[in-house]
Structure 1
Amino acid sequence: MLRCARALPALTALAVLLGLGASGAALAEGSRTLHPATGPGSTGNRGVMDLSNGLYAGVARQRQFLYVYAQAGEVILLGSRNRSNGGDVLVYNPQSFGARGNETIPAASNFSCASQAGRGTIANRAQELAGPNSADLTATVPNGFAPCWYVAPSTGIYGVRFTAATSGNQTNTADIADPRISTSLVSAWDVTVRANLSSLADLNGRVFTYAWAIYLTANGRVITNDLHYVSSDGFRYRQTFRGLDPNRAVFYANPKGFIDAGAPLYHDLRGNSADVNAGPSFTAGVTAEAPTYPMFFSDVAPAGPNAVEVNRVLSALAIPLVPQQPQLSAPTFVGNAGGYNTTVNSGGVFTFTTLNTLTYEIVIRRGSVGPGADPNHPPGCVDDYDPANVCNRVLTGVALSGNHAILWNGLDNAGFAFPVGNFDFQIVGRNGEIHFPMIDVEGNA
């Protein structure tokens, strides 16, 4: 069966989609954040954590790996639906975990929830919603669970991995109201940071990942939750699912989406299997860019309820808290005949300098030359800077801060040579560009 992955169009720096809107305080971070009692994610089905080892599009594991920022002495509290049935929660001290979304699991963890007997079980939906009691159990929340806990020995970003149950498997229904024990999945999970062992005050906004891997184990089950992202240049986004039917899928974000000849493709990727790692697009030379941007489960709005803690994470990741505006200067063209002049079918080189940019777009406007004047000119073309206009030529690619030289071969988007004449061009430098690949989704209500 042919499977597709969707990449959304880019947003320019002046058209930034912020994750705005007020939200109430949440107890704990984890599946409760994805599926709260009310609001986005409270209806539809549960995005159940996948623990498989497949590799989507060659860049993102089906196996979920999480990150959590903690300061020295703070407490990381943990829980899982699988804990009482042999499931574990493992914590790894700050270190390099390899490729984002395709992490290398360290040989040994620095903490295992199994070392604290009787701790870490989220037994039902009520406990999932309530979150953990204090680590030392001197303070409780109504319906709270007894977490396992780890005191952070140093300030940094820790790795967290959940494991499957070893017994008591229950059929996964992806029912939000009924989290199930699973020997291959994790239905309910929690990673919460607090200041000390007796605290009940959650430091939300500390947990993130680079790829969200889920498995609902059947089609016709849909998700309605939010995810939150921050690009490497500091722009913040909210992604809202509105009845997406993924079955098994992975979600992430990066600056280019899918790549064709080094430039963003701005189209779907076509594969030939559930892993979407081979097929028509790959045969044509298209590749998938790896997950790049951190994805949060809690609101990341600059003025939102988690702003202080999110900013701590972004600072640790060296992501600016306030995006820098893009700048482009000294645009020019040098043709093969010298200066701005070129011969038909030859083209030339565009040069420009950018600051605080990620990508560029050059549109060469061919104009409204009629088919009578130029037999190669498709009829019905309009005189504009539309990059999709087949009479124009669009050149796109990556352009980080610095000097750039982009070659043009003299052809339009349809592959015909520009005729004799004078033609204007437009160069745009962008930041805040983001793509949201959704690998192997099946439908959207």
Structure 2
Amino acid sequence: MLRRGAATFALVLFFLAWGAGGASAAGSQDLWPNGAAGSRANTEWRTSSYGGGLLLRRTLLKVFLNTGEVLDLGSSAIGQGSSDIIVWNPGLVTGPIGTEDVSAAPSFSCNGQRAGVQGQITLRAQELAGPDTIPAGGVAGGYFPCHYAAPSTGIYNIAFTGPAGFALVPDADGTIGADVALANANDTSAAQGTSVAAWDATVRSSLASTTNITGRVFTYYLTLFTGGNGLPVFPTVYAVTGDGYRYQVDLRGMDPNGWVSYGNQRGFLNSDGATPLYHDAVATGAGSPGQLTNIQGGVTFDLPSFPLFFEPPSNATITALGLPLAPTAPVMTSLAFVGNLGGNTSLVNSGGTFTYASNVPGVYEIVISRDGVNFDPTLPANRVLRGVRPAGAQTVSWDGKDNSNTFFPVGSYQVHARFHGGEYHFPMIDVENDTQGGATILQRPHPRTPSTVSARRPPSARSARRPTATTTSRARAPLATPRASTRGPSSPAAPCWRPSTSWLPPRTSA
């Protein structure tokens, strides 16, 4: 729980973060800005994976460009070994997020254009300044960029490969300097291997322009490598959910070695492969624990689905992704129970069907209380039904059992139901330690919802962490006497309620 003073302070920082347009370049300098604390983590381009092939260990960047806009590009790996910066035009990269097919011929290669030091970032000052203009001299201290003019409007894909190249044989760790100052020789040498210490992808209207067009560059998953533990990192990213909620995620001293971060609606999944787990997941000792090839309890992790930006996203990019510019408030209506004897009455040991309607897709949660007072979804004597549904009218089946797999006895039972909007999970796969309690998630303010959510977790080895922020619309069962009653040993159990809708603040789930 946040105290009032702490919440107010975080809210002020959040307004500053989202309100400042800035003129900075887009890239590693957003993750490790001027004055950044802690250590640097290199992005990776590798062929190994997490989750037994579900999520490749590589950072595939994306950028929204209008026709004729220029994409300036550079990295600390260019000029070393087989490194390159590759761009694919819209539609050429296909397949599911996490294992995209990048076999199509690139539309642009920095190596195919560069001459001399073009595309090279060799100094921290160049990383912070961003690309110079062409002709040179417009941006003091800027690097000489590779550049690509967009032939059409759309979402382009970008790969920054390390000195080990695009097709990696073998797929081995790079040697990481891990210093924010970019002063270690390994930061700009062939020792980077499968990683890149510094990179830049800046959008401008022309080669001669000095004005950066911000909020265009994003990814769906960010793979990073510090080269060891005891090297805490403090990057910030910005997320947008499918229903238009925007979050700022601060890692606050996470201490991983190699790891991947991303965002989605369900986080980790229970053994049914469909319902959210709502707590950390820990690998078994089988296979490769660091890559979570086997997770305790049959848990799996859902794939990335929400974009992660390196600066506050632009409205143009959000629109191009088909996401709403303003968040859609979740509303659950028409909650009802249909029994197998008609109305809201069912035979004992039979269960029945819940129906409801919602205006947005998301996670529903229905809790059937044994005593009508305690609606704890984890209580063995209660029953929680949870899943993901699209917008519109929905049905949810109940088998008549509680959470311990025991049938409810004859009686009348009350129900609480709620529907999650703006639900955001931020899995961090293979993070060994937290130095300051875990990530903080700040919600962009909008009417009817508070502005700050803090999700903090204790460290645990080989765990994947998932802070969750949720805005909820809830249909609540009354605590008054139910309208139905039992009628003997073989009589039906009849949940009943009068649904109503109320607003709840964003919450965190453990």
TM-score range, shorter chain: 0.7 to 0.9
Give distance in 2, aligned partners of 1:18 and 1:414.
45
Deviations 1:5-60 (A, max 9, x none): xxxxxxxxxxxx9993214524210000111103xxx1111121012211212432
What percent of counterpart residues are identical?
A: 40
The residue number in structure 1 matching 2:305 is 292
Q: Secondary structure at the match of 1:406?
A: strand
Distance 1:48 1:270 in 2: 25
Question: What's the counterpart of residue 54 of structure 1?
Answer: 48
1:409-424 maps to which residues of 2 (within 5 A)?
409-424=399-414
Q: Which amino acid aligns with 1:270?
A: V
Q: 2:339 aligns with which of 319, 335, 338?
A: 335
Cα offsets for 1:254-284 (capped at 9, x unmatched): 1111222221121223323221122433xx3
1:390 aligned partner? 380
The match for 2:162 among 161, 164, 171 is 164
The 8 Å contact of residues 212 and 251 in structure 1, kept in 2 or not, is answered as yes
Counterpart amino acid of 2:430?
A: D
- 1:268 aligned onto 2:267: no
Q: 136-145 or 48-57, which moves further after superposition? A: 136-145
Greater relative CO (CA pairs within 8 A, separation 6+): 1
Asked if the contact 2:132/2:138 (under 8 Å) is kept, the reply is yes
Distance 2:294 2:262 in 1: 19
Deviation at 1:93, TM superposition (A): 0.7
Name the amino acid aligned to 1:314: I
Match in the other structure for 2:456? none
Could you tell me how far 1:133 is from its partner in structure 2?
Answer: 0.4
> What SS does structure 2 have at the residue aligned with 1:263?
coil
2:139 aligned to which of 138, 141, 159: 141
Please say if residues 116 and 148 of structure 1, whose CA atoms lie closer than 8 Å, have aligned partners that are also in contact. yes
Letter in 2 for 1:328: M
Worse overlay, 326-335 or 197-206: 326-335
Match of 2:253 in 1: 243
Q: Is the 8 A contact 2:175 2:193 kept in 1?
A: no
Normalising by structure 1, we get a TM-score of: 0.85
CA RMSD of aligned residues (A): 2.1
1:36-88 deviation per Cα after TM superposition (whole angstroms, max 9, x unaligned): 103xxx11111210122112124321111100111111100000001122421
1:399 aligns with 389
Distance 1:219 1:256, change over 3 A: same
Distance in 2 between residues matched to 1:352 and 1:110, nearest whole Å: 48
* Structure 1 partner of 2:293: 277
SS at match of 1:433: strand
Aligned partner of residue 77 in structure 1, secondary structure: strand
**Structure 1 letter corresponding to 2:396:** I
Q: Supply the distance in 1 between the matched residues of 2:301 and 2:12 (Cα, whole angstroms).
A: 25
Does 1:99 find its partner at 2:102? no
Q: 1:199-254: per-residue Cα shift (whole Å, max 9, x none)?
A: 01001110000000011111111111111110111111111111101111000111
- The residue type equivalent to 1:20 in the other structure is F
CA distance in 2, matches of 1:166, 1:390: 53
Between the aligned partners of 1:258 and 1:414, the Cα distance in structure 2 is 22
Q: How does 1:299-310 map to 2 (within 5 A)?
A: 299-300=312-313, 310=314
Native 8 Å contact 1:357 1:429 kept in 2: no
CA contact (8 A) 1:45 1:221 kept: yes
Give 1:170 shift.
8.5
Residue matched to 1:131: 130
2-side partners of 1:166 and 1:225: how far apart? 25
1:264 maps to amino acid: P
CA distance in 2, matches of 1:311, 1:106: 31
Cα separation, 2, equivalents of 1:166 and 1:424: 61
| Counterpart position of 1:20 | 14
Separation in structure 1 between the aligned mates of residue 128 and residue 38 of structure 2, nearest angstrom: 17
User: Deviation at 1:138?
Assistant: 3.8
The answer on whether the counterparts of 2:138 and 2:208 sit within 8 Å (CA) in structure 1 is no
- Work out the CA distance in 2 between the residues paired with 1:322 and 1:367: 40
- Indicate conservation of the 8 Å contact 1:193/1:203, yes or no: yes
Does the C-alpha gap of structure 1 residues 61 and 150 become closer, same or farther in structure 2, counting only changes over 3 Å? Answer: same
Contact 2:174 2:194 in 1 (8 A): no
Structure 1 residues 290, 332: closer, same or farther in 2, change over 3 A? Answer: same
Shift in CA distance, 19/398, structure 1 to aligned 2, threshold 3 Å: farther
279 and 287 in structure 1: CA distance in 2 versus 1, 3 angstrom threshold: closer
Structure 2 distance, partners of 1:61, 1:194, is: 30
Unaligned runs of 5+ in 1: 1-16, 301-309, 369-382
Q: More displaced, 138-147 or 66-75? A: 138-147
**Kept after mapping to 1: 8 A contact 2:44/2:161:** no
Q: How many Å separate the matches in 1 of 2:197 and 2:331?
A: 46
Unaligned segments of structure 2, at least 5 residues: 1-10, 166-172, 436-510
Please state how far the C-alpha of 1:327 moved relative to its aligned partner. 2.3
TM-score by length of 2: 0.74
Say if 2:59 and 2:221, in contact at 8 Å, map to a contact too: yes
Alpha-carbon shift at residue 189 of structure 1 (Å): 0.2
- Name the structure 1 match of 2:66: 71
